[in-house]
A and B are shown apart, each in its own frame.
Chain A
Amino acid sequence: MARIAQALLKRLGGMAIVLALVVTVVFIIVRVTPGDPAAVMLGSDATPADIAQLREKMGLDAPLLLQYGQFVLGILQGDLGQSIFLNQPVTTALAARAEPTFFLTLFSILIAVAIALPVGILSAVKRGTIFDQIVVTLTMVAASVPSFWLGLILIQVFAVGQGWFPASGYGGPETPFLERLHHLVLPAVALGVVNSALITRFTRAAMLDVLGDDYVRTARAKGAGEGRVILKHALKNAMIPIITVIGLSIAMLVAGAVVTETVFGLPGVGNLVVSAVLRRDYPVIQGALLVVAAIYVLINFIVDMLYILVDPRVRL
């Protein structure tokens, strides 16, 4: 237990450093805008007075270091700034759109893992067979399909064609929960299937790697049957890299969600970001980037902790 507590502290320290860097990177990104961000945001027909007013509102007149200080201070107090166009705090805007994005990501990862783990393991065990070759080919193709295109096709076939699922939208808070989820089926499938390709290939590779290890031979020499060799001795070792790739693909899912939400008209964070970009609503872009990156860092932290549970060798 002491070992885990100690590791926890050390990882927390590392996480804090990365988070600080994330905040800095986000700050820099918005400041690299060529010219005056306020002018860019307001467009060509803005008066100098409007621009000056916005500059003041955004704190752009202050020296850069002071701006940075205020930015950090704001974050620490849970203040991500004010959206220019929505006329509400960025945190409120994000919170209002968190639900569809959260469930979309969750269902996609569940679909992806549910497909990838069994298929990847089986494919590795049956290496070189027809089944394996089909899996290898299919994952290769699936990894080449843009998830938004798959989404468009799913809409065409299952929403427009069959009418089984709604083609777009999500419904408001008054819509029953299950009906809201019904809206998520197609987008989650589109995202999940594309991402399962990556995890499947990785699972297969990790299993193949492990199946060639000496201790697997030891297990066979002990008289363990194939089922035991694969599910006990090999899988627990293979899980170590697989956990990493699942963690990583959550980040990819969030990226995919940005586009998928647009395709399916889901009022999520991705949709918010895209419209913010089109309207040059910098505080919203900034806030969304920060929140998503922070979540990713947190997931990485959890993955690190899982490592400690699975792999006794992790040096602390």
Chain B
Amino acid sequence: MTTMASVSMPFASGLRRLFGNRAMLFGAIILGIVILAAILAPWIAPYAPNKLSIINKLKPPSMTNFFGTDEFGRDIFSRAIFAGRISLLVSLGVVVISTVLGVILGVAAGFFRRLDAPISRLLDAMMSFPDILLAIALVAALGPSLTTVILALGITYAPRLARIVRGSTLVLRELPYIEAAVAMGLPTWQILARHVLLNLASPILVQATFVFASAMLAEASLSFLGVGVSTDMPTWGTMLASGREYMNNAPWLMVFPGLAIVFSVLSLQLLGDGLRDLVDPRLAKES
């Protein structure tokens, strides 16, 4: 008998399947490397990210500069590693903000009938703005900085999470164990925390992973357009933007930051896909 209740799975067998899913393991390893490199950047980067060396400008990849150098002779490899810090920091902030907002809005809309229509319409309106465009407008309004980019993208992606959370909450609300909790006279906050949120954890985790990936792409786009985080530190997007002018003669300026984005996003997608298969056995069976 397959029922709704089979959404969860014990942790141990989940771990076993994590290692059974090679694609997911691959994703986890890449993401691990990216995160480690970002954390350990000051120790593993061979050069300071902004160290100029005009005589070494536009050097192709070599043993001294693995990814080559840019128009100011800065080491692309070191810059790419430091850029990962910003990307991860921004994306992480975006995930936290959009998850908190999304869960509050989604649970409220899904659990309390009276709030459903107004919240849902608001979400519809927010989702009518293409993500980058909304983020650009918010950054323009708030002024470009690390915080505003995080805030802007966080607000942009919150409705996506809210939608998913609302849908799952609507299903959960009708399940007998939630009704049993109501019939037992549990306080509403306890029903929400122990019975609703606990069972939403998996779908939220999966969706948060995908938001992480989207945020990374969006941050790169914003930086590329020159409306992103404006700090002294490079980001993959700004590296691509400034490398554009030289791409005919120095293609490595585009190749390596681009690949960094692709691999980071890919690792998150693989992880998210694998997590979804773990969480939703019905989908897992079919792929």
Q: Which residues of A line the B interface, CB within 8 A? A: 14, 17-18, 21-22, 24-26, 29-30, 32-34, 40, 127, 136, 140-141, 143-146, 148-149, 152-153, 156, 160, 205, 208-209, 212, 251-252, 254-256, 258-259, 262, 273-274, 276-278, 280, 282, 285-286, 288-289, 292-294, 296-297, 300
Tell me the minimal C-beta distance from B75 to chain A in angstroms.
21
How long is the Cα–Cα vector from A148 to B132 in the complex, in angstroms? Answer: 13
Tell yes or no: B128 within 8 A of A by CB.
yes
- Asked if A292 and B258 make an inter-chain contact with CB atoms under 8 angstroms apart, the answer reads no
Report B-chain residues with C-beta under 8 Å of the C-beta of A280.
140
Question: In terms of DSSP, what is the predominant structure of the interface of chain B?
Answer: helix
- Asked if A292 and B130 make an inter-chain contact with CB atoms under 8 angstroms apart, the answer reads yes
In the complex with contacts A25-B125, A141-B266, A208-B287 CB distance below 8 A: yes
Report B-chain residues with C-beta under 8 Å of the C-beta of A152.
240, 244, 247, 254, 258
Question: In terms of DSSP, what is the predominant structure of the interface of chain A?
Answer: helix
Report B-chain residues with C-beta under 8 Å of the C-beta of A293.
125, 128-129
Tell me the minimal C-beta distance from B156 to chain A in angstroms.
10
Which one, B50-58, B186-194, B218-226, is touching chain A?
A: B218-226
- Asked if B133 and A258 make an inter-chain contact with CB atoms under 8 angstroms apart, the answer reads yes
Residue of B nearest to A145 (CB): B262
Tell yes or no: B16 within 8 A of A by CB.
no
- Asked if A34 and B142 make an inter-chain contact with CB atoms under 8 angstroms apart, the answer reads yes
- Asked if A140 and B130 make an inter-chain contact with CB atoms under 8 angstroms apart, the answer reads no
Residue of B nearest to A252 (CB): B130
How long is the Cα–Cα vector from A148 to B287 in the complex, in angstroms? Answer: 31
- Asked if A160 and B254 make an inter-chain contact with CB atoms under 8 angstroms apart, the answer reads no
Report B-chain residues with C-beta under 8 Å of the C-beta of A156.
247-248, 251, 254
Report B-chain residues with C-beta under 8 Å of the C-beta of A252.
130-131
- Asked if A18 and B141 make an inter-chain contact with CB atoms under 8 angstroms apart, the answer reads no
29 CB contacts below 8 A, A to B, read A14-B121, A17-B121, A18-B124, A24-B125, A29-B137, A32-B141, A33-B141, A34-B142, A40-B143, A144-B213, A146-B220, A146-B221, A146-B258, A148-B240, A149-B262, A152-B244, A152-B247, A156-B254, A209-B286, A212-B286, A254-B130, A255-B132, A258-B130, A258-B132, A259-B224, A278-B226, A285-B136, A285-B137, A289-B137
How long is the Cα–Cα vector from A156 to B124 in the complex, in angstroms? Answer: 39
Report A-chain residues with C-beta under 8 Å of the C-beta of B287.
127, 136, 208
- Asked if B130 and A255 make an inter-chain contact with CB atoms under 8 angstroms apart, the answer reads yes
Q: Mark B252-287, 1 if CB is under 8 A from A, else 0.
A: 001000100111011001100100000000010011
Residue of A nearest to B135 (CB): A255
List 4 extra interface pairs beyond A146-B258, A277-B227, CB under 8 A. A127-B286, A146-B217, A274-B136, A277-B225
- Asked if A148 and B124 make an inter-chain contact with CB atoms under 8 angstroms apart, the answer reads no
Tell yes or no: B134 within 8 A of A by CB.
yes
- Asked if A144 and B265 make an inter-chain contact with CB atoms under 8 angstroms apart, the answer reads yes
How long is the Cα–Cα vector from A276 to B225 in the complex, in angstroms? Answer: 12
Report B-chain residues with C-beta under 8 Å of the C-beta of A24.
125
- Asked if B258 and A22 make an inter-chain contact with CB atoms under 8 angstroms apart, the answer reads no
Tell yes or no: B86 within 8 A of A by CB.
no
Tell me the minimal C-beta distance from B226 to chain A in angstroms.
7
- Asked if B269 and A285 make an inter-chain contact with CB atoms under 8 angstroms apart, the answer reads no
Tell me the minimal C-beta distance from B23 to chain A in angstroms.
8
Report A-chain residues with C-beta under 8 Å of the C-beta of B126.
25
Tell yes or no: B182 within 8 A of A by CB.
no
Report B-chain residues with C-beta under 8 Å of the C-beta of A286.
137
Tell yes or no: B138 within 8 A of A by CB.
yes
Tell yes or no: B211 within 8 A of A by CB.
no
Tell yes or no: B40 within 8 A of A by CB.
no
Tell yes or no: B122 within 8 A of A by CB.
yes
Residue of B nearest to A280 (CB): B140
How long is the Cα–Cα vector from A235 to B287 in the complex, in angstroms? Answer: 18
- Asked if B130 and A277 make an inter-chain contact with CB atoms under 8 angstroms apart, the answer reads no
Residue of A nearest to B152 (CB): A29
Instruction: Give me the 7 closest cross-chain CB pairs, A-B, nearest first.
Output: A255-B130, A21-B125, A144-B265, A144-B266, A255-B132, A293-B128, A277-B140
Tell yes or no: B41 within 8 A of A by CB.
no
In the complex with contacts A18-B124, A280-B140, A292-B225 CB distance below 8 A: no
